[in-house]
Amino acid sequence: MDTDKMRARFDEIFGPGGEARAFRSPGRVNLIGEHTDYNGGYCFPCALSLGTAALARRRGDKTVKLVSEDYGSCECAIDGFEYEKERGWANYPLGVADEIKKLGRGLSGFEMLIAGDLPVAAGLSSSASVELLTCVALDALFKLGLTTLEMIKLCQRAENNFVGVNCGIMDQFAVAAGKKNSAILLNCRDLSYEYVPLDLNGASVVLGDTKYARGLADSKYNERRAECEKAVECLRGRADIECLSDLTAEQFAEYGSCITDPVIKKRARHVVCENARVLKAAECLKRGDLAAFGALMNESHESLKNDYEVTGEHLDALSDAARATGGCLGSRMTGAGFGGTTVSIVADGAVDDFIRSVSENYTRATGLVPAFYVAEAADGAGVIV
């Protein structure tokens, strides 16, 4: 993302003059711990060097102008706008502006040019990246004085309330609080966290984009959350819990029989076991046991496939191809599912052959051509100096 080129483009679109400031925001990948965040559990994400960037400046009126180099433009008044499906991507920055307005902070018109290299609808949190990008920009332009935690919660509310996706807080947290060369062991119940060095000792994180996009707001994401809430209602008759992640695997084995619906029971089993896998995986990474870490990733994918049922043909095909390829220590879907991206741990000397072989086998199975990225953990959203 060349900011000089973006400045020239900004002036071309909006006209020269005034102070346009530059901002950046990463994507995120979750190494393990899927669908645990809204169940009060642990997850293990990191921010990515892939992301979005923006140039933005205040206007002297109440007009908001948003331009994405890849996805079009939107113009509306700062007062009185509502969610409109036809606006697509623009609903995410507008949702953030809407939440800032609810705080009673002074907010007038602004214009923003957005560009980036983060695939959209690939499970790498392009929505949260744009949300935090917007929040950081508006905080700086209008001197709002928001803390990082306030921005995280504000952006989650924007996605919940404005866009209508009942997401947890992991995506926004990882995008805002990411740290270079580190993963975040995040307790989504109380938002306590620990940075764990992402030292893979001769291996790399390789992301595989299925090129089968899923629309999160239109997916079964909200349905899965409702199913988990039903499981908690059943379990409360036997256990003193507020959320599924309050249970250990041993407690679930003891109390799980009170869930009579087999589908609801499967959903709960995934969450409880996945939460335990996250803690084990963090310990594996700390002691450099990548083989054990990879095995937990494989277990996670199978649980997401069989118990949570959020993988689908394309994610399964890409993960299966990865695990069948030499040099791959583990592979799983990452993100909400229903399409999107896999994350794999691959020995450095095998990365090129891994990408070639997995791509060929995946295309043979699905007819689609995947894209691959060797991921690096990056810092969270902020101002470009």
3-class DSSP assignment, residue 152 = helix
The answer to whether 243 touches 36, Cβ cutoff 8 Å, is no
Please tell me the chain's helix, strand, coil percentages from 3-state DSSP, rounded to the nearest 5: 45, 20, 30
* Residue 17 to residue 32: CA distance in whole angstroms: 46
* Residue 337 to residue 168: CA distance in whole angstroms: 14
The answer to whether 3 touches 52, Cβ cutoff 8 Å, is no
Residues 6 or more apart whose CB falls under 8 angstroms from that of 284 comprise: 290, 292, 293, 296
* Residue 268 to residue 128: CA distance in whole angstroms: 26
Taking phi first (over 0 means left), then psi (-120 to 50 degrees means alpha), and beta for anything else, what does residue 174 get? alpha
- Active-site residues, by number, are 171
CB crowding 349-373: b at 16 or more within 10 Å, else e: ebbeebbebbbebbeeebebebebb
The answer to whether 335 touches 341, Cβ cutoff 8 Å, is yes
* Residue 14 to residue 30: CA distance in whole angstroms: 37
The closest alpha carbon to 171, from 161, 158, 180, belongs to 158
Q: Is 162 exposed, middle or buried (0-12, 13-18, 19+ CB in 10 A)?
A: buried
The answer to whether 152 touches 37, Cβ cutoff 8 Å, is no
